[in-house]
Amino acid sequence: MSIDVELNGKAHSFDALDPEMPLLWALRDYAGMTGVKFGCGAGQCGACTVWLDGYPVRSCQLSVEAVAGRAITTIEGLSQDALHPVQQAWVDHDVAQCGYCQAGQIMSAAALLSRNPSPTDADIDIAMGGNICRCGTYGRIKAAIRTASNSFSGSAMFYDAASTTEADA
Ligand code: FES
Ligand code: FES
């Protein structure tokens, strides 16, 4: 059985795998997208966050067959050339400690700014609340989101989520 998706802007087929396999495993073991991480496997930590049609989802909680025909973006595809402004802000603030949670954090932050370029602290807390960092980098994460927000308010570099619906996610 072949399951076709768009992965980081390119057509991709998952072949000869269990269609009920979690998307997380398929991305890591069959598509080589090892930026996405396994943390809890229970939808609680956010380490496995990717975008599905531009919305952040927990890839450990979705089967491959559930995303057939959909657009998936991982940290590897967040920017096609230079660093995405959120990634640059992460570098500027030296956010990462062990780094394990950070791809998921960045995917959630970039999704937030794609549809709300000027978030309040409360907006940030809500959007990032499902991403856990056991190293406690939360202060630097919020500072980096602020920097990215100030640098790229309304930029075309952000994903255009207007053409998708929340229900689809
Ligand atoms: Fe998916 Fe923790 S590994 S939410
Ligand atoms: Fe170590 Fe977040 S940087 S878990």
Q: Are residues 63 and 46 in the same domain?
A: yes
Q: Please give the distance, rounded to the nearest whole angstrom, from the Cα atom of residue 103 to the centre of ligand 1.
A: 12
CA–CA gap between residue 145 and residue 161 (Å, rounded) = 19
Phi, psi of 10 (to 5 degrees): -125, 150
Whether residue 168 is predicted with pLDDT greater than 70 in this model: the reply is no
pLDDT band at 152 (very low <50, low <70, confident <90, very high): low
The model's pLDDT over 96-140, given as tens digits with 9 standing for 90+, comes to 999 999 999 999 999 999 999 999 999 999 999 999 999 999 999
Q: Please give the distance, rounded to the nearest whole angstrom, from the Cα atom of residue 98 to the centre of ligand 2.
A: 5
Between 158 and 122, the more confident residue is 122
Q: Are residues 107 and 143 in the same domain?
A: yes
Between 151 and 83, the more confident residue is 83
Q: Decide: 36 and 59 in contact? Cβ < 8 Å.
A: yes
The model's pLDDT over 39-95, given as tens digits with 9 standing for 90+, comes to 999 999 999 999 999 999 999 999 999 999 999 999 999 998 889 999 999 999 999
Q: Which domain holds residue 65?
A: 2-77
Tell which residue, 40, 43, 48, 28, has the closest CA to residue 102.
48
Q: Are residues 37 and 97 in the same domain?
A: no
Query: Does residue 164 sit within a domain?
Result: no
Q: Decide: 45 and 39 in contact? Cβ < 8 Å.
A: yes
Which domain CATH number covers 20? 3.10.20.30
User: Which residues neighbour 66 within 8 Å (Cβ) at sequence distance 6 or greater?
Assistant: 23
Picking from 19, 42, 77, the residue at the C-terminal end of a domain is: 77
Pocket of ligand 1 (CB under 6 A): 38-41, 43-48, 58, 60
40 lines ligand 2 (CB under 6 A): no
Q: What atom in ligand 1 is closest to the CA of residue 40?
A: 2
Q: Are residues 94 and 111 in the same domain?
A: yes
CA–CA gap between residue 67 and residue 71 (Å, rounded) = 8
Which domain CATH number covers 147? 1.10.150.120
CA–CA gap between residue 150 and residue 123 (Å, rounded) = 15
Picking from 54, 77, 100, the residue at the C-terminal end of a domain is: 77
The model's pLDDT over 134-147, given as tens digits with 9 standing for 90+, comes to 999 999 999 999 99
Q: Decide: 14 and 77 in contact? Cβ < 8 Å.
A: no
Q: Are residues 72 and 90 in the same domain?
A: no
Note the pLDDT of residue 154: 46
Picking from 45, 77, 109, the residue at the C-terminal end of a domain is: 77
Query: Does residue 126 sit within a domain?
Result: yes
Structure tokens at 49: 């966050």
Between 8 and 158, the more confident residue is 8
